Amino acid sequence: MSLLGRLRRKARYSTDNCRIYAIGDVHGCFPLLVSLLQLIERDQRARPPLETHVVLLGDYIDRGPQSREVCELLQAMEGSAYFHCLKGNHEETMLQVLKGNRMALRFWLKYGGEETLLSWGVDQGLIERAYGSEGSQWQLIEAFQAAVSPPIIQWMTALPSLHRHGDYLFAHAGIRPRFRLDEQTDEDLLWIREPFLSSKARHPWRVVHGHSQSETAQILHNRIGIDTGAYRTGMLTAIGIEDDDAWSIEAKAR
C-alpha cells in the first residue's frame, strides 16, 4: 500500500481526537508515580497540541511502602475532567477491611496489606499480633479505621470500575470475552485473568488493563497490558494512545 493510502486508511480504533495516557499498577511506589507523571508531561509537550486525558488503572496501594502518599496525591486530583482513577482489586479489598470484614483482613495481610497499614501509621506490633489472634484482628481493623481519613475513604469508594473513551475501554483487570458491557461484573473488571488474557477475539473495544504482570507493556491487537510489577521491578509503565498508535513510557527507580 502506498504512503498516501496508509495515511487515508481509517483507524481501527479511535480516541475521538484525543490523546490518552494510561498508567499501570502503582502499588505504593510514590516516587515512581511522580516521575512517571513528569515523563508524561514531557512527552505531551513534545507532541502536537491535543486534548489529553490520563487514566490510572487501579491498585494504588499495597506491597510498596507509600500507599498513603499515592492515595492522597490522586485524591487531590479528584474532580478534574481530564484525570480518571479506576478501582483495582486491592482497593476493593482495603474497603472491605475498613467495613470490618475480618476475612478480608486475613486475605489482605498476605497480599501487601501490611505495607499499606504501616504507611497509615498503624503499629507494627499490632499488625504482627493480628496474624495469630482474632481479638488483635478486630483491634487492627479499628486502628486502621481511625487512621484513614473520611475523604480518602469516600474517594476510594466512589472509584469506578471502568472508563470508556472512543474505541478504548480501560479496566483494572480486563473483561470477560464475548460478554456485553452491561454483562460485565466488578469481579470480571477487577479480578479476571483467564479467559481474557489468552483471548484472540477482537472485542468491541481495545481493552487497556493492568493486574497481570509482564516484563514490558503488552501491545496487542485487542488489548494493552501495562502492569510491569513496579514494587518488584522498580519500573512503572504508562502507555500513550492516539487512535491505533500506542507507545510506552517507563519510570525506573534510580
198, 180 contact by CB (below 8 A): no
d(CA 187, CA 183): 11
d(CA 43, CA 194): 33
228, 241 contact by CB (below 8 A): no
45, 242 contact by CB (below 8 A): no
Give the pLDDT score at 9.
56
Instruction: Give the chain's radius of gyration (CA, Å).
Output: 19
Half-sphere exposure of 28 (CA within 13 A, CB side): 22
CA proximity to 119, closest of 54, 176, 70? 70
* pLDDT tens for each residue of the chain, 254 residues long: 444 444 445 679 999 999 999 999 999 999 999 999 999 999 999 999 999 999 999 999 999 999 999 999 999 999 899 999 999 999 999 999 999 999 999 999 999 999 999 999 999 999 999 999 999 999 999 999 999 999 999 999 999 999 999 999 999 999 999 999 999 999 999 999 999 999 999 999 999 999 999 999 999 999 999 999 999 999 999 999 999 999 999 999 98
d(CA 170, CA 208): 5
212, 173 contact by CB (below 8 A): yes
Angle at 90 between CA 85 and CA 96, to 5 degrees: 105
Give the pLDDT score at 192.
98
Q: Which residues contact residue 134 at a Cβ distance below 8 angstroms, ignoring those fewer than 6 apart? A: 102
Q: Give the predicted TM-score (pTM) of the model.
A: 0.94
88-141 pLDDT tens trace: 999 999 999 999 999 999 999 999 999 999 999 999 999 999 999 999 999 999
Give the pLDDT score at 2.
45
Give the pLDDT score at 254.
85
d(CA 10, CA 50): 19
Helices (H) and strands (E) in the chain, counts: 11, 10
CATH architecture of the domain covering 17-86+160-254:
4-Layer Sandwich (3.60)
Task: Parse the chain into domains and list their residue ranges.
Answer: 17-86+160-254, 89-158
Q: Which residues contact residue 36 at a Cβ distance below 8 angstroms, ignoring those fewer than 6 apart? A: 23, 236, 237, 238, 249, 250, 251
